[in-house]
Structure 1
Amino acid sequence: MDITQFPSWQRLTNLAEDMHGRHLRDLFADDPQRAARFSLELPEFLFDFSKNLLDDEIFVNLLQLARDAGLESWRDRLFSGQPINRTEGRPVLHPALRGELPGDVKVDSVSVEALVANELGRLKEFVNLLHNGDLIGCTGKSITDVVNLGVGGSHLGPEMVIEALRAYRRDEVRIHFVSNVDGAQLADVLTQLNPDTTLFVVSSKTFTTTETMTNARSALAWFGSLAPRADLLQRHFVAVTASPEKACAFGIEPQRVFRFWDWVGGRFSLWSAIGLPIAMAIGFDGFRALLDGAASMDRHFRQAPLEQNAPVVMALVSLWYCTFMGYPAHAILPYEQALHMLPAYLQQAEMESNGKSTTRAGEEADYRTGPLIWGMLGINGQHAFYQYLHQSPEVVPADFIGSVAPGHGLPGHHEILLANMFAQSQALMNGVSRGEVEKQLAARGLGRDEIRQLAPYKVHSGNRPSNTILLRKLDPHSLGALIALYEHKIFAQGVILQIYSFDQWGVELGKGLAAALQPQLESGDCHNQDASTAGLINYYGRVKAGAAALEFAG
């Protein structure tokens, strides 16, 4: 049944109109227990969603909408391995990678649990060899630097996690990331490295990704005559892929090909062998703790009642704003330097999943689905775009993320950091009224005319909602739980909005066009191109030819 036809949807539409006329300050004033009632305390963090434009009636109807959408049965299908990725005919089993399925699911008659356990064992063995100095390059020297070549989910997740867990990095090896086919990034990384002691991890689900394979070929050429090609590929390259036969055809030895499977989406793959750089950076035990943290969130998502279920509540709050209240964007604002890549990671995870306009029925959705996700470190954002958050006509709900324990030993810093985080969410909620501004200006000794002229510019309407996630400590376990929290939030929101969250056909379109355009760019042939694209190709060819002529003349 069309989700918009349920009474809960219709009721929420009417409640949204009413809520536009209410203020968060009044909601708190009317309910002294609001903060306690609209907070959830989990083993890893406190989730405070009290600073949202919700009341009991809205919350009850949001929960009913989730039940009307069949969220609980869809959740069961996810964890039982049913092919809920219908447009690609696949199950969605990234929770299996952290060992949290209710039973031993089989795909193509093969035990998923056994596949995962075997690959984790191989990862552990390889990482231990690296950390013990037993991974040797062609010249007999131990590997000291690892370069991950990947793009999208094959690089963003591992890099984000390694940055977040910088306090847990080991000293045996340095990890570098190259994702851009712009050769400037690869060239910059290579200038820092010694070919004798460098290992490349080629991470590509299909092992045909243009950006990654171009970088892999250039990396192989970088070794020059250090050793024969076969020896280089045996000693200095490993592959992580769902297409092991293609990695072997490239020349990488089978024992150095680590596998994940087509039931693992790229943006949910850091828990798989794609996380090999994570295990290299923080040790296999640290990687296991990351998986265990995610598994704890899997259990919470499967077992907690909807009203006490953190991913479900997050999904309902986000849906309430984007779909009913008409707020199309959402900001991710970590107050933790180590989480500086989290906004970019969540941008991919959510927008690639729920940036859809076609429902599961194959019809155009006549409502907003997922919001635009953006953000950056909170302290930096305060001096960049918070002006927009506070006084723009647009309302942007936000997630503030911090931790109780600092990731360093410098006194005084962390209290300043958290004071800013708490103050910003408070300021967004309360604002400053015209009367309050005038009183403050009068206390400074300004005259009546000055106050009248200046006051309008200093008014903050407030009533701008936010969530606060306060980790006990940022460590591998809590980070795993935090990432899985958002994964399940994305899934729940997609289910309720009746879209398929686990395909990405919008990504595939551009890839196909680029592959067709590349030979035309090289040849200058603009056949069958629109006028704009033909003009760009012609300009590129003209300027390139002119530069070549000048170089020849010189």
Structure 2
Amino acid sequence: MKNINPTKTFSWKKLKNHFQEIKKITINDLFITDKKRFENFSINFENMILFDYSKNILNQKTINYLVNLAKETKCFDAIYSMFNGKKINVTEQQSVLHTALRYNNLNFFLKDKKIYNNIDKILEKIKNISNDIISEKWKGYTNKKIKNIINIGIGGSQLGPLMVTESLKSYKNKLNLFFLSNIDPDQLISIINQINPEESLFIISSKTFSTQETITNALSIREWFSKNINTNLNKNIFSKHFIAVTNNINEAIKFGIDKKNILPLLSEIGGRFSLWSSIGILISLSIGFNNFQKLLQGANKMDYHFFSTPIEKNIPIIMALISIWYSNFWNTETEAIIPYCDNMRFLPSYLQQLNMESNGKSIDRNGNKIKYQTSSIIWGDVGTNGQHSFFQMLHQGTKLIPCDFIATAIPNHNKYKNHHTKLIANYIAQTKALAFGNINDYICKQNIYQCCFGNKPSNSIFLKKITPYNLGLLISYYEHKIFIQGVILNIFSFDQWGVELGKKITNYLVENINKNIQKIIKYDDSSKGLINFYKYFN
């Protein structure tokens, strides 16, 4: 990738001057002057996803300058490098291969057959384990069928599978899914109170097999399991109830996992991009391997669009450019993700990690301190619930907050189509109200407190229906949006050293707090006070 400071480009300077012109123009003005604005500022992707960005404060000149910014920062060079396995994760000297996990043609993208052979073997293992458990061929040590799947993992090892399995709940089979991520014992206790060890399969998901929260929870589960079975724990019993997803095969074996129950995790796959990998075993168990494959196929289709479509019609790149437009020229600080689909309620949390862990950086690829904005703060909630809480601020508050509204045209349940019609009416009404407000209405002229001034930007993302394939499309294009933002903003999106620092300090603190010393006199004054308060009660 080229290391180009975006603020030094000709396009950035043009955008700064252009901003002074367009900041006085309203969204309403833009629609009045362009009678085909929706047609000109929307992209229909194969009737599977409609991306409408017409309700943004931008015109064709804005788009032209933004497109030129992408060109000046050599976006397609970076895309080519990622898809062809170049070591773009420079600080860790690794390739970035999550797109290789969803390939469907060896002549497309990466040309390394060895990697594809490894991926094929992993997929075959996911398929076999999934089919054996779903068909009840795989049974527990007392010959009872497996009813409960407990995923022990955190971060990408939890958020990805949780978001996908909940989003695709209408495809879910009879297996009960549980996610044990938090080190807080309340979550652990809540789960073990609901399950029978004889009917449960535990998946320990950790790339390094050393993540503190995951291994602590896994050790506690192993202890609970051995105490609650009616015989002595042995390797044969353990192998019927525990599997691992990891890059550290040796540590998993030391823990007691049978080698045949270990699904390898490629080192080139970051946690927040890992749902397509062996981490996806939970998705496959929940919706079946065939549907898991459709999820991969949808993502691959968006990969192809991203790789081969000119910038002007490239959905992920346009989305990335719009985000940069607001954060760096309008000085917005946050973006709201609002899915009008209850099953997709975990999407904002998933995208929060994907975006903020990737692009929450303040040092550029040249090693210099950054003086412009990188990652926005990502937050959100499911509609219509949000309309009765934070939407008040969106409509009448002092913050300018770009929003992504996401909905599905075809409901999951036709029996309640009336509900879905009202849901979609709310979805469209909110984007309309944000954009145009009510300043011309009689009620606003009579009472200033009821005025909504509008001119609040949003994107509308309309899926045909929530299916594994379409969800794959959606996730993939958010992944690529975030990657392109990182490319243009001249940062490394695939490391997360800020996360690592907290882990190191935690491990040091645990060791010291556990020492049999009544008062700790090390550390800064605040940390010392907090430790001493804790030790007073323990």
Q: Same fold (TM over 0.5)?
A: yes
Q: Which amino acid aligns with 1:132?
A: S
Structure 2 residue aligned with 1:495: 487
Counterpart check, 1:233 vs 2:247: no
CA distance in 2: counterparts of 1:23 and 1:103, whole angstroms = 42
What secondary structure does 1:223 align onto? helix
CA distance in 2: counterparts of 1:342 and 1:135, whole angstroms = 32
Alignment match of 1:60 (pick from 56, 60, 64): 64
Counterpart check, 1:484 vs 2:476: yes
Counterpart check, 1:298 vs 2:303: yes
CA distance in 2: counterparts of 1:392 and 1:441, whole angstroms = 16
What secondary structure does 2:460 align onto? strand
What secondary structure does 1:402 align onto? strand
- TM alignment of 1:79-478, pairs within 5 A: 79-99=83-103, 102-106=108-112, 111-171=114-174, 173-225=175-227, 226=229, 227-408=232-413, 409-433=415-439, 436-437=440-441, 439-440=442-443, 451=446, 455-478=447-470
Alignment match of 1:29 (pick from 27, 32, 35): 32
Q: Which amino acid aligns with 1:388?
A: M
TM-score by length of structure 1 reads 0.93
CA distance in 1: counterparts of 2:261 and 2:345, whole angstroms = 32
Q: Which amino acid aligns with 1:222?
A: W
CA distance in 1: counterparts of 2:308 and 2:399, whole angstroms = 37
Contact 1:319 1:370 in 2 (8 A): no
> How large is the RMSD of aligned CA atoms in angstroms?
1.3
Structure 1 residue 22 displacement after superposition: 1.2
CA distance in 2: counterparts of 1:174 and 1:253, whole angstroms = 23
CA distance in 1: counterparts of 2:521 and 2:296, whole angstroms = 51
Structure 1 residue 18 displacement after superposition: 2.2
Structure 1 residue 522 displacement after superposition: 2.2
Q: Which amino acid aligns with 1:514?
A: T
Q: Which amino acid aligns with 2:21?
A: D
TM-score by length of structure 2 reads 0.96
Contact 1:39 1:49 in 2 (8 A): yes
Structure 1 residue 229 displacement after superposition: 4.4
CA distance in 1: counterparts of 2:96 and 2:145, whole angstroms = 38
Structure 1 residue 3 displacement after superposition: 2.1
Greater Cα radius of gyration, structure 1 or 2: 1
Deviation string for 1:335-366 (max 9, x for gaps)? 01110000000000000001111100000111
**CA separation of 1:479 and 1:103: change in aligned 2, threshold 3 A:** closer
CA distance in 2: counterparts of 1:339 and 1:197, whole angstroms = 28
CA distance in 1: counterparts of 2:380 and 2:103, whole angstroms = 32
What secondary structure does 2:226 align onto? coil
Structure 2 residue aligned with 1:549: none
What secondary structure does 1:420 align onto? helix
Contact 2:100 2:110 in 1 (8 A): no
CA distance in 2: counterparts of 1:476 and 1:370, whole angstroms = 28
CA distance in 2: counterparts of 1:120 and 1:105, whole angstroms = 19
Which region of structure 1 is more displaced relative to structure 2, 133-142 or 512-521?
Answer: 133-142
Structure 1, gaps ≥5 residues long: 443-450, 545-554
Q: Which amino acid aligns with 2:200?
A: T
CA distance in 2: counterparts of 1:196 and 1:80, whole angstroms = 46
CA distance in 2: counterparts of 1:326 and 1:104, whole angstroms = 38
Structure 1 residue 526 displacement after superposition: 2.3
Structure 1 residue 32 displacement after superposition: 0.3
Which region of structure 1 is more displaced relative to structure 2, 224-233 or 191-200?
Answer: 224-233
Deviation string for 1:128-162 (max 9, x for gaps)? 11011111212221211110000000010001000
Q: Which amino acid aligns with 1:543?
A: F
Alignment match of 1:16 (pick from 12, 15, 19): 19
Structure 1 residue 298 displacement after superposition: 0.3
Contact 1:330 1:373 in 2 (8 A): yes
CA distance in 2: counterparts of 1:343 and 1:229, whole angstroms = 42
Deviation string for 1:61-90 (max 9, x for gaps)? 100000000000000000000000001000
Counterpart check, 1:73 vs 2:67: no
Structure 2, gaps ≥5 residues long: none
Q: Which amino acid aligns with 1:228?
A: L
Deviation string for 1:115-134 (max 9, x for gaps)? 10110011101111101111
CA distance in 2: counterparts of 1:122 and 1:249, whole angstroms = 21
CA distance in 1: counterparts of 2:288 and 2:10, whole angstroms = 52
Structure 1 residue 104 displacement after superposition: 4.6
Counterpart check, 1:532 vs 2:532: no
Contact 2:438 2:451 in 1 (8 A): yes
CA distance in 2: counterparts of 1:232 and 1:347, whole angstroms = 39
- TM alignment of 1:46-57, pairs within 5 A: 46-57=50-61
CA distance in 2: counterparts of 1:57 and 1:232, whole angstroms = 66
Structure 1 residue 103 displacement after superposition: 4.5
CA distance in 2: counterparts of 1:262 and 1:223, whole angstroms = 30
Deviation string for 1:484-541 (max 9, x for gaps)? 0100000011000000000001101101000000122223552431111110111111
CA distance in 2: counterparts of 1:537 and 1:17, whole angstroms = 52
What secondary structure does 1:396 align onto? coil
Q: Which amino acid aligns with 1:425?
A: T
CA distance in 2: counterparts of 1:233 and 1:397, whole angstroms = 50
What secondary structure does 1:366 align onto? coil
CA distance in 1: counterparts of 2:529 and 2:109, whole angstroms = 58
Structure 1 residue aligned with 2:510: 518
Contact 2:55 2:457 in 1 (8 A): yes
What secondary structure does 1:512 align onto? helix
Q: Which amino acid aligns with 1:321?
A: Y
Contact 2:411 2:417 in 1 (8 A): no
Q: Which amino acid aligns with 1:127?
A: S
Q: Which amino acid aligns with 1:20?
A: K
Structure 1 residue 316 displacement after superposition: 0.4
What secondary structure does 1:258 align onto? strand
What secondary structure does 1:468 align onto? strand
Q: Which amino acid aligns with 1:380?
A: N
CA distance in 1: counterparts of 2:453 and 2:459, whole angstroms = 18
Deviation string for 1:365-399 (max 9, x for gaps)? 11001111000002010001000101111100000
Structure 1 residue 111 displacement after superposition: 1.4
CA distance in 2: counterparts of 1:495 and 1:324, whole angstroms = 18
Contact 1:220 1:232 in 2 (8 A): no
Structure 1 residue 17 displacement after superposition: 2.4
